[in-house]
A = this chain, B = another copy of it.
Amino acid sequence: MSSAAPTSVSATPAILSGKEAQAALEEELIADVARLREAGCQPALAVVRVGEDPASETYVRNKVKAAERVGMRSIHQHLPERTTQAELEAAIVALNEDPAVHGILCQLPLPRQLDAGRITRLIDPAKDVDCFHPYNVGLLTMGEPRFLPCTPAGILYLLERGGISPAGQHAVILGRSNIVGRPLSILLSHKGYDATVTVCHSRTRDLPAITRQADILIAATGIAEWVTADMVAEGAVVIDVGMNRVQDASRKTGYRLCGDVDYAAVAPKCRAITPVPGGVGPMTIAMLLRNAVTAARLLSGIGA
């Protein structure tokens, strides 16, 4: 070992495949759901969609399909574009009160006349499988989470599956959104994960000097291919949360999908990296289902 060559990083980094992790997690969930059903509880996820946003339609369809794949009952409530706040609230309250429903999510964005913040707070925290309710966000912040927010939970699962412990590592997170950057920064810094965490954003000065210190770099900016090779240290783990469309005349569709990381340039420097698509994306729905299983356990009182 003493005559080993200078440390260098392989040009073929480990690919943290969300597709494979999703399949593995769905296997676990199928077993969890089966155990709950045997014990007399049919886990059920209700998805509320309002209006005709085409992206929302796709997301909801994928969530409903995934729920059914693992043996859950799914309830898809589709309300018309002109639904009033009172009508939507009545729909949520009915689901809150229905003992056969364990998880509720309301697909965002909502049409303009509707107040998403009020809906988020109206969903019973015990059924809040998106982990968007302030009570659940507070539990998470305090280190006592009931549910984990889906995308951050998916990232933690990918790291664990890849054999990457964040303990003592410097994790640099680009983006401070309530859905990804903020809760992930809190989770990674908690006891048990124990990363040293830096949160960067649009006001951060001399960003490359910070990102180059990252053992684990998480990009959640929503800017296509924004993380370039000069921003990444040799041997870093790079998690790309982005999903952007960029024009590409060579494609039939006229566009291609890419992440927030310039994959071709960055990947050769990495110890491990998530692809886009097929990285973080597939994990989000799997984690939503895991939260629904948790909700069913807690509400039914049936153990794991």
Query: Taking beta carbons and an 8 Å cutoff, which residues of A are in contact with B?
Result: 117, 133-144, 167-168, 170, 176, 178, 182-183, 185-186, 189-190, 194, 196-201, 203-205, 210
Contact = CB atoms under 8 A, between A and B. Distances in A.
A15 B190 CA distance: 33
A72 B189 CA distance: 39
A95 to B, nearest CB: 21
B189 A194 contact: no
A146 to B, nearest CB: 9
Nearest to A197: B199
18 contacts: A117-B144, A134-B136, A137-B137, A138-B139, A138-B140, A141-B141, A141-B183, A142-B178, A167-B203, A168-B203, A182-B189, A185-B189, A186-B186, A196-B199, A196-B201, A196-B210, A197-B198, A198-B198
Contacts of A167: 203
Q: Which A-B residue pairs are the 3 nearest by beta carbons?
A: A134-B138, A138-B138, A137-B138
Contacts of A201: 189, 194, 196
Contacts of A139: 134, 138
Given A133-B138, A135-B135, A135-B138, 18 more contacts: A117-B144, A134-B139, A134-B142, A137-B138, A137-B142, A138-B138, A138-B139, A141-B182, A141-B183, A142-B178, A170-B205, A170-B210, A176-B190, A182-B189, A186-B186, A189-B201, A194-B201, A196-B205
